[in-house]
């Protein structure tokens, strides 16, 4: 289930890692007791590689993903040796996984540990909050200083407020005096007051 979740989501995360670890333990245990051969492992690895290709290199749902899932399922069936037993085991595991997944969705958001990962604070002006458009218009021709390098975007400070800004393509070093030359919506355009600080 973890690999299937990873297949439908962008990038690689905890679900995929848990899926690989679980399958590795499953196949490793069967190999140790002599219930699975290395040809089964090869088939599983091929399926896993196809899934990785689908996740990282091919957008959307394609033949690589279908082939990967089919190869992994086939390797699981071969490991059991009995199709009926394999089918029951997979269906039971899948049912328990889906039930556990929905329980996690239902109860985890209310836990203290989950709240630590969720943004619950507001953005402060001193940390780079951008004021409203009407207030920004009043800053045209005002001078300030570049807090970070502008390449061409970065953070500047004008009238004690930290703002996101960008130049017209030039690179400006930090601690350079700047001037706001225009405001378009929430986009603030600045230029260096000291031309020697410009980098083309």
Here the CATH number for the domain that contains residue 189 is 2.40.50.140
Lowest-pLDDT choice from 35-39, 57-61, 126-130, 133-137: 126-130
Verify that 168 and 90 share a domain, yes or no: no
What is the tens place of the pLDDT at every residue in 61-90? 578 778 887 887 787 777 776 677 777 777
CB of 170 within 8 A of CB of 190? no
Band of the pLDDT at 160, cuts 50, 70, 90?
confident
Residue 144: per-residue pLDDT: 93
Query: Is the same domain home to 143 and 93?
Result: no
Q: Which domain-ending residue is among 98, 117, 136?
A: 117
Q: Are residues 15 and 42 in the same domain?
A: yes
Query: pTM of the full predicted structure?
Result: 0.38
> Where among 117, 137, 168 does a domain terminate?
117
CA separation (Å) from 9 to 13, 14, 86, 110, 141?
Answer: 9, 11, 27, 23, 46
Taking all residues of the chain, what is their mean pLDDT, rounded to a whole number? 73
In a shared domain, residues 104 and 184: no
Which residue is it, tokens 């929430």?
186
Mark whether 68 and 166 lie in a shared domain: no
Q: Which of 59, 91, 117 is the last residue of a domain?
A: 117
On whether both 108 and 133 belong to a single domain, the answer is no
d(CA 172, CA 142): 17
Same domain, 95 and 133: no
Going by their DSSP bridges, the two strands 153-158 and 177-184 should be labelled as unpaired
Please indicate, yes or no, whether residues 88 and 172 belong to a single structural domain of this protein.
no
Which phi and psi (to 5°) does residue 32 adopt? -60, -40
Question: Does one domain contain both 76 and 144?
Answer: no
Domain count, the chain: 2
Domain hosting residue 175, numbered range: 125-199
**Tens-digit pLDDT profile for residues 145-155:** 999 998 888 99
């Amino acid at each position: 289930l973890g690999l299937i979740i990873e297949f439908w989501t962008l990038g690689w995360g905890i679900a995929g890692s848990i899926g690989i670890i679980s399958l590795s333990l499953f196949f490793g245990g069967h190999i140790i007791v002599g219930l699975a051969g290395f040809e089964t492992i090869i088939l599983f690895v091929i399926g896993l590689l196809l899934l990785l290709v689908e996740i990282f290199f091919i957008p959307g749902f394609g033949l690589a993903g279908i082939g990967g899932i089919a190869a992994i399922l086939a390797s699981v069936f071969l490991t059991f040796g009995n199709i009926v037993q394999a089918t029951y085991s997979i269906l039971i595991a899948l049912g328990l996984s889906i039930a556990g997944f929905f329980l996690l969705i239902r109860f985890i958001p209310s836990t203290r540990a989950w709240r630590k990962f969720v943004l619950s604070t507001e953005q402060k002006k001193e940390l780079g909050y951008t004021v409203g458009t009407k207030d920004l218009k009043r800053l045209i021709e005002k001078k300030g200083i570049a807090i970070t390098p502008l390449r061409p975007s970065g953070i500047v400070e004008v009238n004690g407020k930290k703002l996101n800004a960008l130049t017209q393509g030039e690179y400006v070093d930090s601690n350079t005096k700047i001037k706001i030359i225009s405001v378009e919506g929430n986009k603030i355009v600045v230029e260096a007051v000291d031309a020697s600080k410009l980098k083309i």
